[in-house]
């Protein structure tokens, strides 16, 4: 697998020949299971074959049970400068319900050690978990704050097919996730993170100034990206591609000097809908000028016409660009579009419904 990934990196280098690589994300799976030497080898291949920013953001995804102090010390000596740790919850009952490999003690111990060696750490937390009270959710958040975490990604629990969670629900052992509870938890999440100095810059992401995820922000700002490895997706603004999900087929193709991927050409409507979906999820919103310039005035007019009823319902708003603030300084540093124009964005009331609102505004 490592040989195949290395070969794909070299084989596809021309796809980013005119780009500067600003971020590298080792994730989707558990790359922390790799030896540190293997991670460094992959990073070195990228450095040799691509034009890389002098100090790129390099993130490693990991689970708490994979990060021993010995491993963290080794990782701290590599170019990796950001950790994304799948904590999910600091409570045993939640972790068992989600069938996580780590326990509550490991979650806390992991952060106790990780924060000694890495400043830039993001953790995942899940809300809307059956039987999780508002008080326990607040305590989950407070534990994260007490560890000095600067970034939190938080998502509502979803029930995937053929999982232990689905079995528990079908057998009546636990109730199904309640959307009303999830909304209450989301509101608590927004309030508590705001009170602790976080900026709610994307629906599921909360960061203190200078700790926004540069990698994920590049997705939301519609930048090109190259995905390497089985199931990885790539985007070059006009086409989207994805590698085969089967490991054996992926390796076999690369052994034969071929890429096992599918390519989809994006229509103007596809690109507009994607911009709408990502834009409404962020504090930057959807630039009406950008819509007119990239897709045409008719797209802008259709968008405004379709958005009107949601504006009347207090779910969307047309606002001028942000005024001078800490948030604006962060936006500037991430090269967000900054025109003296108006943007369409969600209100506080509409944030939780952003994806649904976007789908209602899609142009088919």
Stretches where the chain sits below pLDDT 50 are 323-339
Q: Which residue among 157, 192, 219 closes a domain?
A: 219
Q: Coil, strand, or helix at residue 51?
A: coil
| Cα angle, residue 341 at apex, residues 335 and 345 outer, rounded to 5° | 80
CATH number of the domain bearing residue 177: 3.30.750.200
Which pLDDT score is estimated for 340? 52
Whether residue 307 is contained in a domain is answered as: yes
Do 31 and 60 meet the contact criterion of CB atoms below 8 Å apart?
A: yes
Are 297 and 202 members of one domain? Answer: no
Strand partners, 319: 343
pTM of the model: 0.89
| Total number of domains constituting the chain | 2
Whether residue 255 is contained in a domain is answered as: no
Do 208 and 199 meet the contact criterion of CB atoms below 8 Å apart?
A: yes
Range of the domain at 114: 20-219
Are 273 and 214 members of one domain? Answer: no
Are 91 and 192 members of one domain? Answer: yes
Measuring CA to CA, which residue among 308, 258, 236 is closest to residue 15? 236
Which pLDDT score is estimated for 299? 96
pLDDT in tens, 19-30: 999 999 999 878
Between CA 133 and CA 138 the distance in angstroms is: 9
Which pLDDT score is estimated for 330? 40
DSSP characters for 187-204? HHHHHHHHHTT-EEEETT
Between CA 4 and CA 14 the distance in angstroms is: 17
Between CA 256 and CA 15 the distance in angstroms is: 20
Do 290 and 336 meet the contact criterion of CB atoms below 8 Å apart?
A: no
């Amino acid at each position: 697998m490592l040989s195949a990934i290395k070969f794909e990196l070299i084989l596809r280098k021309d796809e980013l020949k005119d780009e500067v690589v600003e971020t590298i994300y080792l994730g989707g799976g558990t790359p922390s299971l790799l030896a540190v030497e293997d991670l460094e080898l992959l990073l070195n291949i990228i450095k040799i074959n691509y034009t890389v920013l002098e100090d790129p953001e390099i993130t490693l995804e990991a689970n708490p049970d994979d990060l021993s102090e010995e491993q963290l010390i080794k990782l701290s000596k590599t170019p990796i400068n950001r950790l994304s740790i799948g904590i999910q919850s600091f409570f045993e009952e939640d972790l068992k319900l989600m069938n996580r490999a780590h326990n509550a003690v490991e979650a806390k111990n992991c952060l106790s050690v990780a924060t000694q060696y890495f400043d830039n750490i993001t953790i995942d937390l899940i809300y809307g978990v059956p039987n999780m009270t508002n008080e326990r959710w607040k305590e989950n958040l407070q534990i994260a704050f007490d560890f000095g975490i600067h970034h939190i990604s938080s998502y509502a629990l979803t029930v995937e097919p053929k999982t232990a969670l689905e079995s528990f629900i079908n057998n009546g052992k636990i109730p199904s996730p309640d959307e009303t509870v999830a909304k209450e938890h989301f509101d608590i999440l927004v309030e508590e993170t705001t009170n602790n100095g976080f900026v709610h810059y994307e629906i599921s992401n909360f960061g203190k100034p200078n700790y926004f995820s540069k990698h994920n922000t590049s997705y939301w700002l519609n930048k090109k990206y190259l995905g390497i490895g089985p199931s990885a997706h790539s985007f070059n603004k006009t086409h989207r591609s994805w590698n085969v999900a089967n490991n054996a087929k992926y390796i076999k193709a690369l052994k034969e000097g071929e890429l096992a991927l599918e390519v989809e050409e994006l229509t103007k409507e596809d690109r507009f809908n994607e911009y709408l979906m990502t834009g409404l999820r962020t504090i930057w919103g959807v630039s009406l000028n950008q819509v007119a310039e990239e897709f045409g005035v008719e797209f802008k007019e259709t968008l405004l016409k379709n958005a009107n009823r949601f504006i009347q319902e207090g779910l969307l708003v047309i606002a001028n660009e942000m005024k001078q603030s800490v948030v604006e300084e962060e936006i500037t540093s991430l090269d967000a579009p900054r025109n003296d124009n108006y943007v369409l964005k969600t209100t506080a009331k509409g944030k939780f419904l952003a994806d649904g609102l976007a789908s209602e505004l899609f142009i088919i």
